[in-house]
Amino acid sequence: MNPFQMILATCCLPLVAAQDSSGSEVALPYHVKTNVVYAEVHGVGLLMDVFTPVHGNNGHAIVEVTSGAWHSDRDKLDDLKKARVFEILCGHGYTVFAIRPGSITKFGALEMVDHVERGIRWVKANSQDYEIDPDKLGLMGASAGGHLACLVAVTNGGRMEKNDSSVAAVGVFFPPTDFLDYGGVRLDPHSAGRLGELIRALAFPAGVDGLDDEQVKQGITAISPARRVTKVAPPFLLIHGGLDLLVPLQQSRTMVAALKDKGVPAQLIIKKGGGHPWPTVYEEVTVLADWFDRQLDANKRRTLPRGS
């Protein structure tokens, strides 16, 4: 099941309006600009949607990596809307850049990471237009999007150069983080099964023919963020369902342990009984927004909407 797909069946929230307790429609707290081109790869544009808050910009932004099962078609954005991600974050005053890094049918994991990095640099380069602080970006994602967000954050930590790809804080839901130990299993790119096919596409888009065991291990390590943590990684919050049957809870525990081992602030929230995801995931989205407030000091910098 793809990220937030369970919500589609259990939590039918409208896409363009919310409802109050009486059932009346109320306007959502954001404006959205769709299909903004943030980069070009092989002559093809990479796209993002930009959600700007209606009721005051807090001076900060969240980059959301929009990917489910390493696919980033538009229905993944619709799933996030149903989970109230943009409603909640924009309600806190954040500008949200929902980056679509491409899909596994065309790109490997490291190529998608490069696309996310390009998106972050685009946000920083255009920060004045959106009245946001380029040095205090939050980064988030769920499942495959969480995996890519983790990998971007740990491989760009500590740079903090002008228009680089570093971020100040990372919040992710149920991310795969270690493909060498995936719930006790080492994924084998030579396997004919579904997981073998997945790891081949993610780590070895050119194929595995001719690679020895050490080269295979290096290729899988390169896309396993828990194996690439350094002491300069930004603070992390991970949220994972206790009954996730798709991405083992062990994946978040492994990531948190790796971060703490390097002295990086990291916290894991386990949703008791939660799957992948769960019908009330919007409650944890609120927890994440509050955490971003503390990490980015966003609540201290709220400004009036433009033109007011």
The answer to whether residue 301 is domain-embedded is no
How many independent structural domains does the chain possess? 1
Per-residue pLDDT tens over the stretch 169-178: 999 999 999 9
Q: With CA atoms as reference, report the closest residue to 155 among 130, 120, 183, 207.
A: 120
The answer to whether residue 197 is domain-embedded is no
Coil, strand or helix: which one is 119? helix
Structure-model confidence comparison of residues 3 and 268, the more confident one: 268
Please report, for the domain that includes residue 234, its CATH number: 3.40.50.1820
Per-residue pLDDT tens over the stretch 73-84: 999 999 999 999
The answer to whether residue 261 is domain-embedded is yes
The answer to whether residue 271 is domain-embedded is yes
The answer to whether residue 304 is domain-embedded is no
- In this prediction, residue 157 carries a pLDDT of 74
The answer to whether residue 101 is domain-embedded is yes
Answer yes or no: is pLDDT of 13 > 80.
Answer: no
The answer to whether residue 71 is domain-embedded is yes
What range defines the domain where residue 79 resides? Answer: 5-178+224-296
The residues pairing with 137 across neighbouring beta strands, listed in sequence order, are 61
Calculate the average pLDDT of the chain: 89
Alpha helices in 30-164 (DSSP H): 75-82, 85-91, 109-125, 127-130, 144-156
The answer to whether residue 33 is domain-embedded is yes
Residues 170/235, Cβ–Cβ less than 8 Å: yes
